[in-house]
Structure 1
Amino acid sequence: MQRFRRLPGMGALAAALGAAAPAGAIVQGGPAPELAPHTVMVVERQGFCSATALAPDVVLTAAHCVAGKEVRVFYRDAANAPAFLAPRAVAVHPGYVKGAEQSRRKSIDLALVRLAEPLPKGFAPAALSEATRPTAGETWTVAGYGLQTEGEPRSGGQFRAAPLPVVEPYGPSSILVWLKSPGRGACTGDSGGPIFAPDGGLGAVTVWAEGTGKSRCGALTQGVLVAPQRAWIDKTLAGWGAR
């Protein structure tokens, strides 16, 4: 059984968020201005992830990005100035298992973050896809703020996206989706970011990536499907008064 690696952490956070950082996110990805308003960054002292807005004051990300960590949601305002929002509450999926990659246990690596104040009006909540069983060969779009070039921190911090075909390395899954295209895929900082389904809705959340040889990015991207977890998402949002 092939082993997946969690998207690696990133120590040089300041470099990735610096104003001089070149454009880049998703290995071999490109600009996607129509998707950018749905997506923000989740930062902590040792690294960053991506996240998707589900409500003006709620974002969805990977549980491993926020569980047990002090985080802030980062974005740039209309004047391109950096802004940080503190979380008001964090809900980690009850099926999340820390370190599941070592024990090879099933883990629902999702978390919802309620913000202390709403995101600016320029951000738009993403619609949730109803896609429950991706089919091999379908094209899904992985997006985020991660590195364009593995190992180069300053290549991150800008939103990019890449269309990737679905593969089924172990057969179809009711929990996960796998995406693979030579030289393309998620990298450091893309964890927690959106994977959009063919219907245009948020279909999955990026949680893992794998490269070829010694590379850790750009070969295989894995996401947790959103539709099978709608009951938990809807219950949490309703409890927060967000939906």
Structure 2
Amino acid sequence: MRIRFSRLPSIALCLLPLALLASAARAVVGASNDGAGFGEKIVMVLKGDKSRAGFCSGVVVRQNVVLTAAHCVGDAAHTMIHFRAPDGAPVLSPVHRLAVHPAYRANAIRTRERSVDLALVELAEDLPSDFQPATLATASEAAPGQSFRVAGYGLTREGDAHSAGQLRIADLTLRAPVSDILLWLEDPSHAGTGACTGDSGGPIFEADGRTVAGIIDWTGGMPPNKCGALTQGAKIGPQKGWIDSVLETWQGR
């Protein structure tokens, strides 16, 4: 059952500062723009237990399914979806079940293993009708210099938890080398724009702003910063078969 609040629930407020420790991708910092026009496709993903808590972003792919990063979810009992109702009230929606990509490796950054950081989250109830599922890319080809648009609810000022919670977008370009499963994006002006804490799980749109080419899963910055230099995402095209398979299985149950 969904839980509606007259103001942002305390659980979400508690998650914001703790998320600085829990998210791999640290909202968009630098020259980002308001995400108006994208809110009907993007939600927040909350994860927490007695010892750790964090928040991410996620993109709607069905009226009751969200695609996000695998490191953004726990088990179904400790994962919730946060969004605003049509009247603006904050809502927490419980999760029915989730699926983590079989090639996901939680320690991949440390061990340098090949990993696909994706997860699908099925809600217990459909999202409101004003949410519209995004179109997922089927192709995976991309060339250095190609433009992409990232979106998320994360920090707009690195280290400031109070700067999170507003949907922001930014335009980045693909940098070399080109990977078969990852997108490596950078600010073309090298002015420090990129994803940050809370943007993990958020969509990487193609330049048209309609087709999701990737899911944000990690960021890097120029020391001492941890954001703004490199935004990494898992490519959707090579994983479209897995996504479709899970969705088909869920639809049949």
Instruction: Give the alignment's TM-score, normalised by structure 1.
Output: 0.87
Aligned partner of 1:27 in structure 2 is 29
Alpha-carbon distance in structure 1 between the residues aligned to 2:169 and 2:106: 27
Report the AA paired with residue 58 of structure 1: V
DSSP-derived class of the 2:243 partner: helix
Report the AA paired with residue 179 of structure 2: S
Alignment equivalent of 1:196, drawn from 205, 224, 228: 205
Q: Provide the aligned C-alpha RMSD in A.
A: 1.6
Aligned partner of 1:174 in structure 2 is 180
Alpha-carbon distance in structure 2 between the residues aligned to 1:173 and 1:44: 29
Aligned partner of 1:223 in structure 2 is 233
Runs of 4+ in 1 over 4 A off after TM superposition: none
Alpha-carbon distance in structure 1 between the residues aligned to 2:91 and 2:72: 19
Alignment of 1:23-62 (within 5 A): 25-28=27-30, 29-45=32-48, 46-62=53-69
Alpha-carbon distance in structure 1 between the residues aligned to 2:218 and 2:164: 17
Determine whether 1:80 maps to 2:83.
Answer: no
Of 215-224 and 29-38, the range deviating more from structure 2: 29-38
Number of equivalences: 222
Q: CA deviation at 1:13?
A: 4.7
Aligned partner of 2:107 in structure 1 is 99
Aligned partner of 1:4 in structure 2 is none
Report the AA paired with residue 219 of structure 1: A
Alignment equivalent of 2:72, drawn from 65, 85, 99: 65
Alignment equivalent of 1:108, drawn from 95, 116, 119: 116
Residues 124-153 of structure 1, C-alpha deviations (whole Å, 9 max, x = no match)? 000012340221001100100000000000
Residues 212-242 of structure 1, C-alpha deviations (whole Å, 9 max, x = no match)? 0110111110000001001100000001118
Identity level (%): 43
Alignment equivalent of 2:246, drawn from 225, 236, 239: 236
Alpha-carbon distance in structure 2 between the residues aligned to 1:127 and 1:147: 26
Give yes or no for contact 1:131–1:197 (8 Å, CA) kept in 2: no
Aligned partner of 1:205 in structure 2 is 215
Q: Structure 2, unaligned stretches of length 5 or more?
A: 1-10, 17-26
Report the AA paired with residue 29 of structure 2: V
Q: Structure 1, unaligned stretches of length 5 or more?
A: 1-11, 18-24
Aligned partner of 2:193 in structure 1 is 184
Alpha-carbon distance in structure 1 between the residues aligned to 2:56 and 2:72: 6
Instruction: Give the alignment's TM-score, normalised by structure 2.
Output: 0.84
Alignment equivalent of 1:147, drawn from 130, 155, 162: 155
